[in-house]
Structure 1
Amino acid sequence: MGELQTMLENHGLMLVFLNVLAEQAGLPIPAYPMLFVAGALGVQETGPSIGAVLAAVIAACLIADTAWYFAGRRLGQPMLRTICKVSISPDTCIRQTQSLYLRVGPRSLVFAKLLPGAGALSTAMAGMTATPLPVFLFYDAVGALVWAGAALLVGVVFSDFVDAILAAFSAYGHVAVLVCLAAFALFLAWRWWRRIRLLRRTRRVPRMTVDELEARRRSGALPLVLDVRAHGATPIERIPGALVVDMQGSLEVLGGHPESQDIVVYCACPHELSAAILAERLKAAGYQKTWALAGGFDEWKRLHGTESPPQAGEAANDAAAS
């Protein structure tokens, strides 16, 4: 299979380590194709052994994930907002990851890497919620083992198919590489286009400022306030009187009367995205007097002078941004 297989056989372990390290660090460089190949070569005994590959993967994951862990622990909520801003994963995936960690704790790290966009977010959540470092390292290593083991198993089972792909790469050389790069670039462009389109659509949802909300409260005309952040088993701080709702849950909790109901929805994510999505759903259901809270929960905390670095016991609360 030419130079390509020779390179994989001689330097496969280092390539696997660097590929996994780059992906877990947050670069859009998928590691699963490399792991498929490593599994196929390992079972054929023409490449590094499966055990050596697993060790390299776990080492790369622990290095990258520990950096995410300490970044989350040190930076807290701003770190989470940054991940939400740059992620190309659907915001529903981000919310599900947060809710899962808040409910299950560090055990969610065992399968977090198998969920789209959940790897870096879960490890940052571990730091933000002050998960003990030894506990984090244990579950993260198990998660890396599960994640890599699944990919290597696919490579082992479909080793003949992987061989055919490697042969095609060797035969067509640069053309095959360019085709793969072009396909990957188109995939990234499609994901970003979907996200930009969502942001443009949700910008049309009207916003109510925190000052306006407070003015209504003082005048005795406080609207129904809905908290759409991710929530776990531990109660979290919220705007007084707010009703906790699920974005996909039943609207029966609102009590009907959509034509006269004033509703403000808040979250703690960039662009008030989760709040705007629920507001869209409410408007479609007839609740036309619905707003997203501009700046979300962070702006409400700032106005009330309560925004301060989270203490160890409060980190889980601030981590519940959507």
Structure 2
Amino acid sequence: MKVRLVVLATLVAMTLVTTKTSYTLGHQVVANFDFITIEELKEKVTQTEAPFILDVRGSESYANSQTRIKGSLHFSPRKLKYRLEFPPLKDLPKTREMVTYCACPNDEAAITAAQILVSSGFKRVRVLKGGWQEWLKAKGPVEQRPRG
């Protein structure tokens, strides 16, 4: 009984320490990625080697907004896998830090995009915890999005 409790306590402690998230499909791990906090990303967007930020908000949400996170590019989640075959995504090193964000309540589109990036070979993929709404609440830097 003591051994089971020690094993259980160890597993709980390991879960609390790690921020890596695994998503499974059946018994196969689909993607491993980290979440990034609003504060971490606010700091990183001002650095020389800022992460490549993918705005994967739905088309309607994106169209109704006049701004985006500073330095981000919009990619439809449904077309992301196809877009990986063309610049600028095709030309990015697989070791470049990538951050995805969306306007979904539980970051679903950003998680889906992260899964696509990881399965395509990107090594440093993170999802912005809280997404677009939390970014705006925290007054993260934004820029005008291109028209059209």
Q: TM-score, normalised by structure 1?
A: 0.30
- Cα deviation for residue 278 of structure 1 reads 0.6
Q: CA RMSD in A?
A: 2.7
Q: How far apart are the structure 2 equivalents of 1:305 and 1:258?
A: 26
- Cα deviation for residue 203 of structure 1 reads 9.4
Say which of 279, 303, 320 aligns to 2:138: 303
- Cα deviation for residue 222 of structure 1 reads 1.3
Q: 2:73 aligns to what? A: 243
Q: 1:115 aligns to what? A: none
Q: 2:126 aligns to what? A: 291
- Cα deviation for residue 217 of structure 1 reads 2.2
Q: 2:50 aligns to what? A: 222
Amino acid across the alignment from 1:277? T
- Cα deviation for residue 299 of structure 1 reads 1.1
- Cα deviation for residue 218 of structure 1 reads 2.8
Q: 2:116 aligns to what? A: 281
Describe the SS at the equivalent of 2:122: coil
Q: How far apart are the structure 2 equivalents of 1:266 and 1:205?
A: 13
- Cα deviation for residue 302 of structure 1 reads 1.0
- Percent identity, please: 31
Cα deviation digits, residues 133-192 of structure 1 (max 9, x gap): xxxxxxxxxxxxxxxxxxxxxxxxxxxxxxxxxxxxxxxxxxxxxxxxxxxxxxxxxxxx
Specify every segment of 5 or more residues in structure 1 that has no aligned partner in the other structure, as ranges: 1-196, 307-322
> For residues 254 and 229 of structure 1, do their structure 2 counterparts lie closer, same or farther at Cα, with a shift above 3 Å needed?
same
Q: How many residues align?
A: 108
Amino acid across the alignment from 1:237? T
- Cα deviation for residue 202 of structure 1 reads 8.5
The higher-RCO structure (CA 8 Å, 6+ apart) is 2
- The structure with the largest strand share of the pair is 2
Q: TM-score, normalised by structure 2?
A: 0.62
Q: How far apart are the structure 2 equivalents of 1:256 and 1:286?
A: 13
Amino acid across the alignment from 2:128? L
Question: Is contact 2:54–2:100 with CA below 8 Å preserved after alignment?
Answer: yes
- Cα deviation for residue 234 of structure 1 reads 5.2
Q: How far apart are the structure 1 equivalents of 2:38 and 2:30?
A: 19
Select the structure of larger CA radius of gyration.
1
Q: 1:209 aligns to what? A: 37
Specify every segment of 5 or more residues in structure 2 that has no aligned partner in the other structure, as ranges: 1-23, 142-148
- Cα deviation for residue 305 of structure 1 reads 7.6
Question: Is contact 1:258–1:286 with CA below 8 Å preserved after alignment?
Answer: no
- The structure with the largest helix share of the pair is 1
Amino acid across the alignment from 1:239? I
